[in-house]
Structure 1
């Protein structure tokens, strides 16, 4: 794939996620958490060409994209997205008739270096995500001397993005992509834009209903994250049972307002959703 096609796939995936109604996050229906949709669109604009540059390491893709975003909007709008999309993009450069994107991704993850870890730690500190604290093992506040994969493996049980690295992005390839395809097929009578948006919402709700959002866990603890997961489970069931997702829009918007009134942002689930959409586009 060419850099231009990869950059477009990444940019389109970021915008597709913004078009989807994702309760608790920023989207076209509502801003939130002191951020606007324009902040996220601008972040996608400035990071697309950077993250898709050829001949960069995964760590360089991450750091340069975070720097570009920081210079453009001066806030953390897309760290999780960049962490997930950088290895997918790196793997996409090697797609051929003999290896799938997932196989290339496994090769990419196994070849991550200490330099990748150091670049990524610098990017994380620059973005300064909510809930970032000191940890005993491979703390990003200290210069890493392990590979990026090892650094992510040590963080996998407290961060679902790190978990993707440690588990071959299995949330995306084993769960998210099939749900995305099934939702697109279910509502295929709608326009392509609407269909993609509703399918993206289905992916987001599926992740949120089946696992604790680690962004919420870091900020508020497992008890509240469990409450949100249980709320999502009921809404997800109603969403998947309808033949017309528009009929569930008010329920989604009401829950969106409730989450934002409680200052709850399921950011990890949104980040994984973007990566899922990107993987679909790249395949």
Structure 2
């Protein structure tokens, strides 16, 4: 697959995700107190160079010049997070980067989009303890909300690096331990199951609805069927369940989108479904890679595969 086609898709997908007014998220119409639409614009365009390097590295893997354990996932994620942070002062895309880089490399190694998810899982399985250490350094740079402290392999404890080395914790083992706390790790382990199923749902919906309506519908369905782990970490599992219940009411016609959005924002960003938004960004990247283009009809933007 052509290098810049991959990079373009994984740049445009997150920009679309940020622009479209989904319930509880930053959009071109709504900001949070400490996170704006502009943060996403600067962050996502800042990482394109690292994404390009990830594709080039993957081509060396495909040719057998490098072994999978030499992919350097952790280093690439850290470099992308650093580039994002240098361009703006918030954390709009750590999760997107962590999801995207293994899959970007999988696209360059695999035969097609379906094969790419298997190659991404292989790279995660073959990662090294050094990858995990670099991943920890990336977390420290991004400083995402809701990271627990005082736990084994505490991200913010310098002792954790010694513990990771002693116990041989690569990215796959880290994901196994952390899947319940963060959906990104579940995606790593499950070959991006939710990202790909959401991509499939988007592909169906853009045949029926304008682009924004299709994305919003798919996102509400995601909220109705999954507990967002960022909400769980920030506000607790009961709040996450309440979000899920209200999303189901939207689908059942008992609550309007506008009412749902106001509910999502009434406690600031505590109900911001950031983990599912990250997965939606990757799903949109897959849709772009599949050939998404837009047309303007009667003032509405229509997506076409």
Pair 1:176-2:181 in alignment? no
1:139 paired residue among 113, 137, 154: 154
Q: Structure 2 regions of 5+ residues with no counterpart?
A: 58-70, 291-305
Structure 1 residue 13 displacement after superposition: 0.3
CA distance in 2 between counterparts of 1:214 and 1:18 reads 19
SS at match of 1:185: coil
CA distance in 2 between counterparts of 1:134 and 1:261 reads 27
Q: How many equivalent pairs are there? A: 265
Structure 1 residue 42 displacement after superposition: 0.8
CA distance in 2 between counterparts of 1:102 and 1:257 reads 36
1:95 paired residue among 96, 101, 110: 110
5 Å-filtered alignment, 1:235-246, equals: 235-238=250-253
Runs of 4+ aligned structure 1 residues displaced above 6 Å come to none
Which TM-score applies when normalising by structure 2? 0.80
Which TM-score applies when normalising by structure 1? 0.86
Larger radius of gyration: 2
1:258 paired residue among 251, 254, 263: 263
CA distance in 2 between counterparts of 1:120 and 1:81 reads 14
In structure 2, the partner of 1:150 is 173
CA distance in 1 between counterparts of 2:104 and 2:113 reads 18
2:20·2:28 contact (CA, 8 Å) conserved in 1? Answer: yes
1:85 paired residue among 97, 100, 116: 100
Structure 1 residue 126 displacement after superposition: 1.3
In structure 2, the partner of 1:242 is none
In structure 2, the partner of 1:200 is 215
Structure 2 CA distance for partners of 1:33 and 1:208, relative to 1, 3 Å: farther
- Per-residue CA deviations over 1:189-238 (Å, capped at 9, x if unaligned) read x4xxxx2x332223322221111111111011111110011111122344
Mean CA deviation greater in 75-84 or 89-98 = 89-98
Structure 1 residue 119 displacement after superposition: 1.1
Structure 1 residue 48 displacement after superposition: 2.1
Structure 1 residue 93 displacement after superposition: 0.9
In structure 2, the partner of 1:186 is 208
Structure 2 CA distance for partners of 1:3 and 1:97, relative to 1, 3 Å: closer
